[in-house]
Every structure is written in structure tokens, then in C-alpha cells.
Amino acid sequence: MSRNIIFSTIQRIYNILPPSFRKQSLWVMVLLFLNSILELLGLAAIFPIITIMLQENAVTESKYLSMAYNILGFTSIKAFIVSLAVFVLVFIILKNIASLLIIRKQASYTLSLYKYFSSHLFSYYYRKGFLFFKSNNPNKITRNINSIPSEFSNSLVSNLLNFINELLILILIVIGILLYDPLVIVLLLVFVVPIFGILYRSVKNKASSIQNELNELNPKIGKNMFQSIYGYVDVQMTNTELYFKKIHDTYLHRATLLKAKDKVIQQAPTKVIESAMIAAIVLVALYGTLFLENQSHLTGLLTIFALAAYRVLPSVNRLMIALIGIKGYQYTLEVITQINQEEVKEAAVPVSEQIIPFQNEIKISDLSFAYDNKKPVLQHINLSIPIGASIGIIGRSGSGKSTLINILLGFLYPKEGYISVDDTVVTPDNLQSFRKLIGYVQQDVYVLDATIAENVAFGIPASEIDLSKVEHALKSASMLTFASQLPNGIHTRIGDRGSLLSGGQKQRIGIARAIYSGAKILVFDEATSALDTQTEIEITESIKALSEENITMLIIAHRYTTLKYCNAIIELENGLVKQVHSYDSLSEKALSS
């Protein structure tokens, strides 16, 4: 019953472990076993000491103690008892120190497994690409990156180690009892094995279905909370707080029910096995009382049985708990194994250090694209963007503007055609170098909960930020005056998701970020309506300043005025270039239609 799951789990874990961890696992097993032996010895060492202290003639009566007494050359029983007590005390202290060291080794082993897989998954998901992120629940992704590896190492692997360790201990105990009185083992086998089997069969599937459902439920709870917190304003304005709260409560209700069941399943083995042991003692005692004439042997047997049960019970119990854990956390293995297999296929995403020279133009050549539903979104686009030019892109909603930009940024790969910089065609191999040329300012700039300087120098440790470069970037983005007036200047924190900034200010942080990174091409997705007229003028002016700095601009425009300094304006319709306008030939009506 349990054999298959134990062997298959060991096999599957072994397959996904890197070689260094495989070796370590053996060491951890040996240490754990050593620890258990020490624990048993520690327990065993106390009894003779107590016996001797209570009964001095025990030294002379016991074969082993009198042997030790004579070999060690003691002449006084008291001195022998004191020395023995000191010896046991030192042994117990050393055993406990060793035990702590082993616990530390085991913890650092399982935690390093967690670290390894979590870090592995972080890179793996980053490689999954833009469309994957767009279409998958971020809570599930974060759970797969963090909680699954944590549960894998702290619950599955730990339980497996505990299981193997406990099994070895149990075998030792059983051998001990077997040597003492084989009949006790027969009694134990008759009562424990069937109970263990029935119990395991009845809870194993429940345990795993509970854990599987909790694993599905947790990202949903996260998603609903995330949506209602970040959508606070919309939730309030649409009066839908109760709707989100109800979903939250329904999920919580289910999760608490499952967790309560899980607790019962965790505790059930202790209670059932304990009851079985007592039932065994009572049944045998009753049998003796009712049917046997001479009960003295039976009383002795029952005492030993009770003592054996007392030793075996916790061990069997831990074995069962570990087994339930192994079954319950199988899903972590599913996730990690699947990811590991896929990763082998996808591992070869090369990072090129090649620097792409850009002196003449960016060219979009005969570019076509369709999403998975195959409906063409861009068809045979041809465009030349000379260095230093500012090009506007307009078109109705759904005409393909964002898709074109996402291809240009390398988030989507064209089905046909290509993008080139001077004579270099952009491919997945040189994408990293190409991106070094580009700065992207989104409609809703992603702002870190950090200072203005850290936001401008995005992803650079605070101590390594070039502050004069930050100031230059802020100046070019018409943001320096505002920033210098803040209490801590450019070192002022701007709140979670830039809550202390206006929409326009966030966009200018985005522009400054692109300038700081040394971008030669700025792709600017103009905010639709968040900006007031004054801010809009300022942004348009910073766009002008940037084009004067010879920065090539590509602007997805929703407003007429933003296009004022554009050299050409491309109008997209149904994925085709419908027309190329100049600013003067374009009326505000054409843009808004």
C-alpha cells in the first residue's frame, strides 16, 4: 500500500534533484538516523541510573553493571553511582548538542532545496514570456514560485525523511522486542498492522484531495483580495464591496472547513492507534480472566505488551503522519516535476552581449502577426524610423497599436517579417542588446515603493545610483523642479505604486527612467485621459526636448497635441497601415474618430 507511494516519491524526487543535493540527502538520512539512535540511547540511559539510585544493590545484582564496576576498578559503590550519573549527564548534554546540530543540518538541507527550486522557478516563469503573464493568474504564479517549493521541501521532503527514519527506528525497536519476547510482536502485528492499513487506506485519498483543493483555493483567495484591494476605487464606486466580500467569505468558509478536516486527519492516527492498543490489552485481559486458569504468565505478557506499545505507538504514529504528509503534498511534486521537464526543453535562452550599433534607422519589414486564435492582427507592416525622428502611431481601439509596440519591445515575436536596427535583424538571440537601446514609458508606469531616485534608476542598488545622472534624467522629463521641492528632494519615497504622485508625474518618472538607462529610442504609450492640460503641455514639451536630444521617439498617441512635434504619424486600421499623416494634415477629429 505505502510501498508504491514511498518508492515512487523517492524516485521522482531523486530525478528532479541536482546531483549535489542527491549526495546531501544521503548524509541527512544518516544523520537523522544517528539522531534517533542517540535519542533511544538517551532514554535507555536514564532507567539504570534511576534504578541504581533507588536500589543500591542493583549494581551487584546486574551482570552488566557489576562487570563495569569491576573493569573500571571502582572500590566504592557510591563513587561508581556518582561517576555513572555524571557520565550519563555528560552523554545527555552531548547528545542534545549533537541533536541540535543535526536539526540544523536537516533544516538547512530542506531550506536550501526550497531556495534552489524557488530561485529556479523565478527564472523559469520569467522565461515563459509576455503572453503567459498576461493570461495567467499572478497569484498562482507567485504561489508556484514561493509556496510550492516551500511545501515541497518543508512538507514533502521532510515527511519522506521522517518516514524513512521512523521506519528504521521502528525496525530496531521491533527487533529489540522480538529478542525479548516474540509473542509480544505477534500481538503487536495482529493489532497494529491491520489498523494501520485500514486507517491509511481510509485517510490517504482524503488527505491528498484536501491538499489539492487547498492548493487550488489559495491562489483564488489571493486573486480576489488583490483585485478588491487594488480595485478599491472601482469597488467603492460600483458598490460591489459586498460582492467581493462574499467571494472572500465563501472561499474562507471552504478553506477553514478543509483545514479543520486536515487537522482531524492529522490527529486521527494517534487516537485510532491508541484505541487499538488499549482494545488489545483489554481483550487479552478479558480472555485471560474468562478462560484461563493460571493468569500469571498473561499478566507478565500484558505488562511487556503495554510497555512495547508505549514505545511503538509514538513511532507508528509519526510514521502514519509522515505517510499522510507524503500523500497530501504530492501535488508539489506534480508542479515541480512538470516545470523541471519543461525547463530542460526551454533552458537554452541565450543572452547575447553583442552591442547593436544604431546610427541610421529602425526598420519594420513586411511584419505580420496573429495571436493563438490565428486572426491576423498586423498584416505586412513596413515602416522606417530614422534616428532622431519622432513617429506617432494612431488608430482606433483594437487596430493593433499595442501589438506592434509589443513586437518592437520583443515581448511578442513576429510570425512573418522582422525588425532591424541599421543592418542587424532583431532575433531572440540579440534581444537583450536591442532592449538596451529602448526605453518604454507605459500608460500606467510601474512605480516601486521606493524613492524618486530609486525609481528613476530602476533595479540599481541605492548605493550605486549616479545621482547627477538621475537629476539630468528628471530635468529632461520636466520633473526636477517638482522633485526638488519635496521634503527629501529626489530621496523622497513615493508610496506604494506611486500613490503620492499624479498620473502625469508617474509618466514623467517613466520618461526619466528611460533616459537614465541610456535609451536611444523611447517608446511612449501616452496616457488616454489621466493628464490635465498643464501636465499634458509639460509632457509634450519634454517629448520635444527629448527629440532635440536626438532621442528617437515612437509615440502611441491618444491626443492630438502630443503629436505636435512628430515628423510623421502612422494611422493603423485593422492591422494595416491605412495612411501616413503629417501633423498639419491631421485634424483632431481624425484622431478621435
Binding site for ligand ATP (CB under 6 A): 131, 134, 371, 373, 377, 395, 397-403
| All residues at 6 or more sequence positions from 274 whose CB lies less than 8 Å from its CB, including other chains | 313
Smallest separation, CB 398 to ligand ATP (Å) = 4
Between helices 182-230 and 158-180, what is the axis angle to 10°? 170
Report, in Å, the least distance between residue 451 CB and ligand ATP: 31
Least spacing, CB of residue 392 vs ligand ATP, in Å: 13
Least distance (Å) between residue 370 CB and ligand ATP: 9
Give 328 or 395: the residue with its C-beta nearer to ligand ATP.
395
Work out how close the CB of 412 gets to ligand ATP at its nearest, in angstroms, rounded to a whole number. 9
Q: Which H/E stretch holds residue 381? A: strand 376-386
**Kind plus residue range of the DSSP H or E element containing 103:** helix 77-128
For ligand ATP, give the closer residue by CB, 408 or 437: 408
Residue closer to ligand ATP (CB basis): 401 or 508: 401
Contacts of 495 (CB under 8 A, 6+ apart): 449, 501
Least Å from the CB of residue 399 to ligand ATP:
4
Measuring CA to CA, which residue among 170, 179, 185 is closest to residue 2?
Answer: 170
Residue closer to ligand ATP by CB (options 132, 310) is 132
Instruction: Between 329 and 524, name the residue whose CB sits nearer to ligand ATP.
Output: 524
Which CB, 395 or 504, lies closer to ligand ATP?
Answer: 395
User: Look-up: residue for cell 487594488?
Assistant: 230
Least separation in angstroms between residue 572's CB and ligand ATP is 7
DSSP secondary structure string, 309-321?
Answer: HHHHHHHHHHHHH
Q: To the nearest whole angstrom, how small is the minimum distance from the Cβ of residue 455 to ligand ATP? A: 25
Decide the pairing of beta strands 390-395 and 552-556: parallel
Torsion of CA 18, 20, 26, 28, to 10 degrees: -110
As given in the structure block, the three cell numbers for residue 485 are: 521641492
Q: What minimum distance in Å lies between the beta carbon of 579 and ligand ATP?
A: 15
Cβ proximity to ligand ATP: between 78 and 374 the closer is: 374
Residue 371: CB minimum distance to ligand ATP, A? 3
Cα–Cα distances (Å) from 24 to 154, 335, 435, 523, in that order, read 16, 23, 41, 50
The Cα–Cα gap between 406 and 544 comes to 24
Name every residue whose Cβ is closer than 8 Å to that of residue 315 and which is 6 or more positions away in sequence.
166, 169, 170, 173
Task: Please say which residue, 63 or 375, places its beta carbon nearer to ligand ATP.
Answer: 375
Residue 399 or 507: which CB sits closer to ligand ATP?
Answer: 399
Of 199 and 404, CB closest to ligand ATP = 404
- Hey, what long-range contacts does 97-105 have (CB within 8 A, 24 or more apart)? 98/34, 98/35, 98/38, 99/35, 99/38, 99/39, 102/31, 102/32, 102/34, 102/35, 103/35, 105/27, 105/28, 105/31
End-to-end CA distance of the chain: 70
- Name the minimum Å distance from CB 144 to ligand ATP: 21
The cell for 559 is 491626443
> Quick one: residue 571, left, alpha or beta (phi over 0 = left, psi -120 to 50 = alpha)?
beta
Nearest approach, Cβ of residue 534 and ligand ATP (Å): 25
| Nearer to ligand ATP among residue 130 and residue 180 (C-beta) | 130
Q: Which is nearer to ligand ATP, 25 or 403 (CB)?
A: 403
What are the φ/ψ torsions at residue 209 (nearest 5 degrees)?
Answer: -70, -35
Which residues does 173 contact at the CB level (< 8 Å), separation at least 6? 40, 308, 311, 312, 315
Nearer to ligand ATP (CB atom), residue 121 or residue 381: 381
Q: The C-alpha cell of 387 is what? A: 534616428
Min separation Cβ 578 and ligand ATP, Å: 12
| Dihedral Cα 274, 275, 280, 282, nearest 10 deg | 120
**For residues 410 and 471, what is the distance between their CA atoms, to the nearest angstrom?**
29
Task: For 519-586, give the DSSP string.
Answer: -SEEEEE--SS---HHHHHHHHHHHHHHHHTT-EEEEE-SSTGGGGG-SEEEEEETTEEEEEE-TTT-
